[in-house]
Chains A and B, each alone.
Chain A
Amino acid sequence: MSFDNHLDTLYRQVIMDHYKNPRNRGVLEDENIDINMNNPTCGDRVHLTMKVEDGKIVDAKFEGEGCSISMSSASMMTQAIKGKTVEEALALSKIFSDMMQGKEYDDSADLGDIEALQGVSKFPARIKCATLAWKAMEKGLHSQK
Chain B
Amino acid sequence: MDAKEVRQLFPILAQEVNGKPLVYLDSAATSQKPLPVIEALDKYYREYNSNVHRGVHTLGTKATDAYEGAREKVRKFINAKSTQEIIFTRGTTTALNTVAASYGRTNLREGDEIVITYMEHHSNIIPWQQVAKYTGATLKYIPLQADGSISLDDVEKTVTPNTKIVSVMQVSNVLGAINPIKQIAQIAHKNGAVMVVDAAQSAPHMKIDVQDLDCDFLAFSGHKMCGPTGIGVLYGKRALLEQMEPVEFGGEMIDFVGLYESTWKELPWKFEGGTPIIAGAIGLGVAIDFLEQIGLDSISAHEHKLAQYALEQLSAIEGLTIYGPKERSGLVTFNIDEVHPHDVATVLDAEGIAVRAGHHCAQPLMKWLNVTATARASFYLYNTEEDIDRLVAALKKTKEYFSHVF
Give residues in A with beta carbon < 8 Å to B: 3-4, 6-8, 10-11, 13, 16, 20, 41-45, 65-70, 123, 125-126, 129
Q: Is the CB of B349 within 8 A of A43?
A: no
Q: Is the CB of A16 within 8 A of B405?
A: yes
- Is B358 in the interface zone, CB < 8 Å from A? yes
Neighbour of A125 across the interface among B341, B349, B373, CB < 8 A: B349
Q: Is the CB of A3 within 8 A of B401?
A: yes
Neighbour of B373 across the interface among A13, A20, A43, A69, CB < 8 A: A43
Q: How far is the CA of A10 from the CA of B404 in the complex (A)?
A: 14
Q: How far is the CA of A66 from the CA of B343 in the complex (A)?
A: 10
Given the known inter-chain contacts A3-B401, A16-B406, A67-B340, please indicate yes or no for A41 contacting B346, CB distance below 8 A.
Answer: no
- Is B366 in the interface zone, CB < 8 Å from A? yes
Q: Is the CB of B359 within 8 A of A7?
A: no
Q: Is the CB of A43 within 8 A of B405?
A: no
Main SS class of interface, B: helix
Q: How far is the CA of A67 from the CA of B341 in the complex (A)?
A: 7
Inter-chain contacts of A11 with B (CB < 8 A): 343, 401-402, 405
Residue on A with the closest CB to B397?
Answer: A4
Q: Is the CB of A41 within 8 A of B342?
A: no
Q: Would you mind naming 19 contact pairs between A and B with Cβ atoms under 8 Å apart?
A: A3-B401, A3-B405, A4-B350, A7-B347, A7-B401, A11-B343, A11-B401, A11-B402, A41-B358, A42-B358, A42-B359, A42-B373, A43-B358, A43-B366, A45-B372, A65-B372, A66-B342, A125-B345, A126-B346
Give residues in B with beta carbon < 8 Å to A: 18, 340-343, 345-347, 349-350, 357-359, 363, 366, 372-373, 400-402, 404-406
Given the known inter-chain contacts A6-B18, A11-B405, please indicate yes or no for A42 contacting B346, CB distance below 8 A.
Answer: no
A117 to chain B, nearest CB (A): 14
**Of A45, A68, A69, which is in contact with the most chain B CB atoms at under 10 Å from its CB?**
A68
Q: Is the CB of A7 within 8 A of B342?
A: no
Inter-chain contacts of B359 with A (CB < 8 A): 42-43
Q: Is the CB of B342 within 8 A of A126?
A: yes
Given the known inter-chain contacts A42-B357, A43-B363, please indicate yes or no for A129 contacting B342, CB distance below 8 A.
Answer: yes
Inter-chain contacts of A65 with B (CB < 8 A): 372
Residue on B with the closest CB to A42?
Answer: B358
Q: Is the CB of B401 within 8 A of A68?
A: no
Q: How far is the CA of A44 from the CA of B359 in the complex (A)?
A: 9
Q: Is the CB of A69 within 8 A of B405?
A: no
Inter-chain contacts of B373 with A (CB < 8 A): 42-44
Q: How far is the CA of A16 from the CA of B340 in the complex (A)?
A: 12
Residue on B with the closest CB to A128?
Answer: B342
Q: How far is the CA of A68 from the CA of B347 in the complex (A)?
A: 13
B118 to chain A, nearest CB (A): 17
Contacts A4-B401, A65-B372 supplied; 9 other A-B pairs, CB < 8 Å: A4-B350, A7-B346, A41-B358, A43-B366, A45-B372, A66-B342, A69-B342, A123-B346, A125-B349
A21 to chain B, nearest CB (A): 10
Given the known inter-chain contacts A41-B358, A42-B359, A43-B366, please indicate yes or no for A125 contacting B346, CB distance below 8 A.
Answer: yes
Inter-chain contacts of B401 with A (CB < 8 A): 3-4, 7, 11
Inter-chain contacts of A42 with B (CB < 8 A): 342, 357-359, 373
Q: How far is the CA of A65 from the CA of B350 in the complex (A)?
A: 24
Inter-chain contacts of A70 with B (CB < 8 A): 342
Residue on B with the closest CB to A64?
Answer: B372
Q: Is the CB of B350 within 8 A of A7?
A: yes
Q: Is the CB of A13 within 8 A of B405?
A: yes
B167 to chain A, nearest CB (A): 23
Inter-chain contacts of A125 with B (CB < 8 A): 345-346, 349
